[in-house]
Amino acid sequence: MDSASLICVTDQGLYCGQGDFYIDPWRPVPRALITHAHADHARRGHGKYLTTHEGRHVLQTRMGASAEIDSVNYGEIIDINGVKVSLHPAGHVLGSAQIRVEHRGEIWVVSGDYKVIPDQTCTPFEPVRCHTFITECTFGLPIYRWVPQSKLFSDINAWWKLNRDEGRVSVIYAYSLGKAQRVLAGVDSSIAPIYCHGAVERCNRDYRETGIALPETQYAGRGVSKKDWQGALVIAPPSAGGTTWLRKFGDVSTAFASGWMLIRGSRRRRSVDRGFVVSDHADWDGLLEAITTTGAERVLATHGRTVPMVQYLREQGIDADSLHTEYVGESDDADVDAKGEESEASEHEIQDEAAAEVTS
């Protein structure tokens, strides 16, 4: 990208030279503006952090008690070295934001991750007008179109009830920040008790402290006999799959909640009984809707299937290009923290399989 751009890519991350700050940097920097608390966007080791009031609890938990974190209201304009900065709802997870940067009449928006379909666990996405829009592209293929929320949770509840009636424990693998709470808020909590892995329960606490209503859950780490789990729903991060932690639950039926479950073979690859298409990212139509409503003259697509998206936008007469960053998109935070090559290879395989389905 041109070094004269309002925001450019450096070895540390996205940088605004005029304001001397970084957005979601992947190397330690003095001042970091954070779109949301997922591990590929929020890293430890920065001097100061800026996030939304809504996202402060989850960011503090993830960055540690010693991290210096400031927060602002959605839409509140602050001045950083002569640059106007404001954070606007991204609808991705609790506290997620698009970061609007304005200098001398030029406006850029860094979207971070987002979805345009509202849910009960975070402030809904709001379009922000700009000249240049940096958009995620995790599910940037026409094959990705999400099912209605009512059908999704009806299917999850039916699966859980069947397992309960047959004496099994239902285990759903869902990312501990965002996805797990969205599942919790959507299921019928009257079916049976709900237990959560420690990583999920920590995030549940932050959501509740921020004022988000979640059904009652119990910590799944305590030593409870197998008969006490019968019929329950257990929510755990994907990293818990295949571990000895699962043995305590006895007879289980497993499911994975992810946008990748839309693709044939994804459930088999994860070795689970069911796959539920749940994503906190925009699908193909959602991406196009968000891009259109910004009115942006220029669109930069990052982390995901950027080439098809860029090609499509150019065909619509929009100045579009890919932007290389170190963001991952929909992946387990444990995988991001470990920078596991196996995890990244798996995601690339899924993307390639999706592309093949589009052309078949």
All domains of the chain in start order, with CATH: 8-144+280-329 (3.60.15.10), 149-276 (3.40.50.10890)
Q: What is the pLDDT along the chain (360 residues), one digit of tens a residue?
A: 444 689 999 999 999 999 999 999 999 999 999 999 999 999 999 999 999 999 999 999 999 999 999 999 999 999 999 999 999 999 999 999 999 999 999 999 999 999 999 999 999 999 999 999 999 999 999 999 999 999 999 999 999 999 999 999 999 999 999 999 999 999 999 999 999 999 999 999 999 999 999 999 999 986 555 567 989 999 999 999 989 999 999 999 999 999 999 987 877 788 899 999 999 999 999 999 999 999 999 999 999 999 999 999 999 999 999 999 999 877 654 444 433 322 333 344 334 444 444 433
Helix/strand/coil for 158: helix
User: 253 burial class (0-12, 13-18, 19+ CB within 10 angstroms)?
Assistant: middle
Longest alpha-carbon distance in the chain: 66
Averaged confidence pLDDT in the chain: 90
In the numeric block, the tokens 């991204």 are attached to 90
d(CA 360, CA 351): 14
CA 131 to chain CA centroid, Å, is 25
> For residues 258 and 275, is the Cβ–Cβ distance under 8 A?
yes
Q: Concatenate the DSSP letters of all residues of 232-281 into one string.
A: -EEEE-GGGTTSGGGGGG-SEEEEEESGGGGSTTHHHHHT-SEEE---SS
- What CA–CA distances, in Å, run from 28 to 6, 13, 25, 168? 21, 9, 7, 46
The radius of gyration computed from the CA coordinates of the chain, to the nearest angstrom, equals 20
> For residues 252 and 172, is the Cβ–Cβ distance under 8 A?
no
In the numeric block, which tokens belong to residue 123? 């402030």
pTM attached to this predicted model = 0.90
Q: Which residues of 157-187 are buried (b: 16+ CB within 10 A; e: fewer)?
A: bebbeebbeeebbbbbbbbbbbbbbbbbbbb
